[in-house]
Amino acid sequence: MNDFILYSILASVVLTVVVNILPLLFPNAADKIQRKIEENAKRAIEQHEDDKQPRVKVFFPWKVMLIGSIVLTIVLNLISYFAR
């Protein structure tokens, strides 16, 4: 149990450092993301106002889910390997 707490604290510190360093490494990323969100919002409003478009649009992020699954599997396997 003590190892779990140690690993949790270590992971928390590492994730905090990474989240705080990423904007320094990619300073224009926030502007790009904001523009993409605005473009998607405008497109969604235009599609909603257009009667020819279907009312319901299904979004299934299978690519993101697949990548997330692979990354989480690798992370869990590494944690398991180093915990031994």
Q: Where are the alpha helices (DSSP H) in 1-84?
A: 2-25, 29-49, 62-83
Rounded Cα gap, residues 59 and 44, in angstroms:
13
Q: What count of residues does the chain have?
A: 84
pLDDT at 1: 63
Q: What is the pLDDT along the chain (84 residues), one digit of tens a residue?
A: 678 888 888 888 998 898 888 888 888 887 888 899 999 999 888 877 777 766 676 777 888 899 999 999 999 999 999 988
pTM over 0.75? The answer is no
What was the pLDDT predicted at 76? 92
- Structure confidence at residue 58 (pLDDT): 73
Contact 46, 40 (CB under 8 A): no
Sole residue written with tokens 């599997």: 73
CA-to-CA distance for 25 and 41, rounded, in angstroms? 27
